[in-house]
Amino acid sequence: MADQLVDLDAADEEARLVEARPVRQGFLPIVTNWFDRLFIGIYLFVAIELLWMRFLEKAIPLTGAHLLSLLLLVLIVWKG
């Protein structure tokens, strides 16, 4: 059992020497992964649809909301 001990100081030093992956820079003001950006996009999709139905559906068909929401979802997931 004694031969399985790990030197934690050496492990910390090794972790500092390993280059970290570059942080992805997008236009969102937070650090996100693809799933976070997908969640934000879906949340925004629902919000746009509801606001569109409340304020604009009489003047502009709901298809406009679908297209705008899908465009923003793809933009956020790809570039966010």
The segments of the chain whose pLDDT lies below 70 read 1-3, 18-24
Residue positions counted in the chain: 80
Q: Per the confidence metrics, is the pTM higher than 0.75?
A: no
Cα atoms in the Cβ-side hemisphere of radius 13 Å centred on 73 = 18
CA pair distance 11, 31, nearest whole angstrom: 26
Q: Give the 3-state secondary structure percentages of the chain, helix then strand then coil, rounded to 5.
A: 65, 0, 35
* Model confidence pLDDT, tens digit, residues 45-68: 999 999 999 999 899 999 999 999
Residue listed under structure tokens 């304020």 = 55
